[in-house]
Amino acid sequence: MKHTEAVLKELEELSPRLAQIKRAETPIEPPASYFSELQRDVLWQIRQEQQTAARPAATPAPANGFAWLDFLRRPRHALAFATFAALLVAAIWVLSPRTGSLDNGTDSALATLTEEEALAYIEANVQDFDLDLLAQFADLDLLDATAAAGWSDEEWNDILESLLDETDIQTLEELF
């Protein structure tokens, strides 16, 4: 690769001083173990690139997906939703005709359930509610998850009460 003699001969003619400097030239020394680290770094970067390229692109959430349920992670909103659920339970048993789907013992127990008791139960067991059903409920477009993120407790109560008024019995029964 190198043509030292040809280069030196040419240099002697152009600049004897530079030719002399070249003869005394020493290569620049990189830090110790530099080249082995270089190979490791280059291969690491290449593997990172390959992994990134192989990773499938993130798929956007479907329009009616479960993303809106994220707001339930906030305790305040979870409690508000539980309140809404409690009101729905009460509404079902007050408004609907007896269907016989529950045995008489459960029926009578629910009939005597106070709102406070229902609220306490749902608050304690909010994790047990079926997300699929909640998502199905969301498909009714009764909730706007984007706007919900900024609601105050008072707004939540008003909205949940209005939702209760607007929801028909059949929908309520499907939820529970």
Partner 1 sequence: MRDPVTLERGLKLLMDRYQAPLYQHLRRMVTDHDDANDLLQNCFIKAYRNIGQFEGKAKLYTWLYRIASNEAITFLNNRKRRAVDSIDENNLLGNSLKADTLMDGELLQVQLQQAMETLPQKQKLVFTLRYYDELPYEEMSKVLHTSVGALKASYHHAVKKIEHFFNNS
Residue 56 parent element (H or E): none
Classify burial at 44, counting beta carbons within 10 Å of its beta carbon; exposed 0-12, middle 13-18, buried 19 or more.
exposed
- Min separation Cβ 57 and partner 1, Å: 20
DSSP code at position 71: G
Residue 173 parent element (H or E): helix 169-175
Residue 19 or 91: which CB sits closer to partner 1? 19
Residue 45 or 146: which CB sits closer to partner 1? 45
Asked if 57 interacts with partner 1 (CB under 8 A), we say no
Task: Please report, as residue ranges, which positions from 23 to 42 form the binding site for partner 1 (by CB under 8 A).
Answer: 24-28, 30-31, 34-35, 38-39, 41-42
Alpha helices by DSSP H, listed for 1-144, are 4-14, 16-23, 34-54, 75-95, 104-111, 115-124, 131-138
Q: How many residues bind partner 1 (CB under 8 A)?
A: 31
Residue 8 or 134: which CB sits closer to partner 1? 8
Catalog residues that contact partner 1 under the rule CB under 8 A. 1-4, 6-7, 11, 14-15, 17-18, 21-22, 24-28, 30-31, 34-35, 38-39, 41-43, 45-46, 49-50
